[in-house]
A and B are shown apart, each in its own frame.
Chain A
Amino acid sequence: MELLAERENLALVEVAGVRRKIDVGLLEEDPARAGDWVLIHVGFAMSKISEADATDQMRILRMLGEDEAAMQEIEGYGMGETAARPAS
């Protein structure tokens, strides 16, 4: 959810083209700025989402089983890096 404009304690956030006014009072100590992503719960922003941490997490997961033995196992199951989408 991207933070857009601000008015009093309300910010306009957008997800997939849906816009909503959210109370950002709980982020007082570390205010969010336009362009930030936030976690929203019952109309209040609870926390900022750290893009860096998210990227980190994905990187670690991608490295799962990168040692030889594990890679062979994965390929054996037909689930390599360019796995095809399952047939519908």
Chain B
Amino acid sequence: MKFVDEFREPELIAKTAHEIRRLADPQRHYRMMEVCGGHTHAIYRFGLKDLLPPNIELIHGPGCPVCVLPMGRIDDGLSMTAQPDVIFTAFGDMMRVPGTRGSPLEYKARGADVRIVYSPADALKLAQTNPDKHVMFFAIGFETTAPSTALTLMRARSQGIRNFSVFCNHVTIIPAIRAILDSPDMRLDAFIGPGHVSTVIGCRPYEWIARHERKPIVVSGFEPLDMLESVLMLLRQLKEGRAEVENQYKRVVPWEGNRAALKAMAEVFQLRPYFEWRGMGFISQSALRIRDSYAEFDAEQRFSVPGIRVTDPKAAQCGEVLKGVLKPAQCKLFGNECTPERPVGALMVSSEGSCAAYYNYEHRKAALVTEVAAAL
């Protein structure tokens, strides 16, 4: 497959991994955080940790938009299914996330009309083909997905669709990064910057990280070669005492971002003054809501939602894991009360959640890691 296979070429991967080992200062322990859930997923899927020397530590940030959603918001979305003739639609990753009274799939088993869609456009199509029902789309995601939701609403308006609404839970990445850097328990050397979010917002929004916080950040692609090259670029910056924004994912990410996408977002959305993030409390200007001019599509206005704040079970440490303060295995519930089959929090459900990734990867692999490290 083009643009995929080349970036998985074993020779080049070995070469890049070797160069990383050569460059890494054995006296130093490097802490690099990736903020995008897709990167977390890629790290585990491709076994990238095996290829890095032990003194380079990859820390998972809050880049999973499903994971950072507080349970109360999930309950709010699910409360809409109580109304007759509502079709609840969401991406697959949302389906098993636990709300207070069950996950969307469990609501479906109890008779609610819950359907997986792979695009907001699918949800709109459902509204067109089911004129006697109301289709509600539970929108989540960072700036990668928000423009698609925005464009879908613009299309809904131009096509005069009246039986469609969006429950908007889009969040923005920069305030999350800021919250991480402001956190007293976090000590990071560098950032692996989100790849797909950057196709929309470009690379400029990260400049303050380099300039004011003096941390290097490399916007990275998702193939193994991309991520390794990004680690290499970060290493070089750290060795040379530089702190800059670099774009490793040049073939896809334009420095200025995608203007059409930003325009669509600006037309349909505005920033909420504040929004609650699971485990991180209220962060100002960190999430989007639908503008008044598109109010007829705003599910929060069409349905009256309970809006109850639900705190995570006391023992669950989703917040600390999301911030990278704790490794998944350090959460008291990990692997016991909380497993991918019986998740307590979303991090164990979402394919981009660090707990699920860790559970399937590190959890049972201790023996093999030493073997592989010795061979490299």
Chain A in direct contact with chain B (Cβ < 8 angstroms) = yes
Which chain A residues have a beta carbon within 8 Å of chain B's beta carbons?
9, 15-16, 23, 25-29, 37, 39, 41-44, 46-47, 49-51, 53-54, 56-58, 61-62, 64-65, 70, 73-74, 77, 79, 81, 83, 85-86
Contact between A50 and B250, CB atoms less than 8 A apart: yes
B148 surroundings in chain A (CB, below 8 A): 23, 26, 41-44
> What distance in Å separates the Cβ of A27 from its nearest Cβ neighbour in chain B?
7
Contact between B19 and A42, CB atoms less than 8 A apart: no
| From A23, A29, A51, A81, contact of B11 by CB (8 A) | A81
A39 surroundings in chain B (CB, below 8 A): 196, 199, 252
> What distance in Å separates the Cβ of B137 from its nearest Cβ neighbour in chain A?
11
Interface centre among A16, A27, A41, A61 (most CB of B within 10 A): A61
A41 surroundings in chain B (CB, below 8 A): 144-145, 148, 196
> What distance in Å separates the Cβ of B319 from its nearest Cβ neighbour in chain A?
27
Q: Pick 23 A–B contacts, CB within 8 A, sort by A.
A: A23-B119, A25-B151, A26-B147, A26-B151, A26-B258, A26-B261, A29-B260, A39-B199, A41-B145, A42-B120, A43-B118, A43-B119, A44-B148, A46-B144, A46-B200, A46-B258, A46-B261, A47-B199, A54-B3, A56-B250, A57-B229, A65-B18, A83-B10
Q: Does B364 contact A (CB under 8 A)?
A: no
Q: Does B91 contact A (CB under 8 A)?
A: yes
Q: A26-B264, A46-B261, A64-B16 are in contact. Are A37 and B120 (CB under 8 A)?
A: no
Contact between A73 and B18, CB atoms less than 8 A apart: yes
A25 surroundings in chain B (CB, below 8 A): 151, 155, 260, 264
Contact between A73 and B22, CB atoms less than 8 A apart: yes
A15 to B200, CA, bound (A): 23
Contact between A16 and B1, CB atoms less than 8 A apart: yes
> What distance in Å separates the Cβ of B299 from its nearest Cβ neighbour in chain A?
18
Contact between B18 and A79, CB atoms less than 8 A apart: yes
Q: Would you give the 0/1 interface string for B1-43, flagging 1 where the beta carbon is closer than 8 Å to chain A? A: 1110010001110111011001000000000000000000000
Contact between B254 and A65, CB atoms less than 8 A apart: no
Contact between A23 and B18, CB atoms less than 8 A apart: no
A29 surroundings in chain B (CB, below 8 A): 258-260
B120 surroundings in chain A (CB, below 8 A): 42-43
B18 surroundings in chain A (CB, below 8 A): 65, 73-74, 77, 79
A27 to B259, CA, bound (A): 9
Contact between B264 and A42, CB atoms less than 8 A apart: no
B118 surroundings in chain A (CB, below 8 A): 42-43
| From A61, A77, A83, contact of B225 by CB (8 A) | A61
Q: Would you give the 0/1 interface string for B101-145, flagging 1 where the beta carbon is closer than 8 Å to chain A? A: 000000000000000001111100000000000000000010011
A30 to B12, CA, bound (A): 32
Contact between B2 and A64, CB atoms less than 8 A apart: no
> What distance in Å separates the Cβ of A1 from its nearest Cβ neighbour in chain B?
8
A43 to B152, CA, bound (A): 11
Interface centre among B1, B3, B196 (most CB of A within 10 A): B3
| From B3, B11, B22, B91, contact of A79 by CB (8 A) | B11
A53 to B118, CA, bound (A): 29
Give me 7 other A-B pairs in contact (C-beta within 8 A), A23-B121, A25-B155, A43-B121 excluded: A23-B148, A26-B148, A43-B148, A46-B144, A49-B252, A79-B18, A81-B11
> What distance in Å separates the Cβ of B222 from its nearest Cβ neighbour in chain A?
10
Contact between B15 and A64, CB atoms less than 8 A apart: yes
Q: Does B71 contact A (CB under 8 A)?
A: no
Closest to A74 in B: B18
Q: Does B253 contact A (CB under 8 A)?
A: yes
Q: A46-B261, A47-B254, A70-B22 are in contact. Are A61 and B14 (CB under 8 A)?
A: no
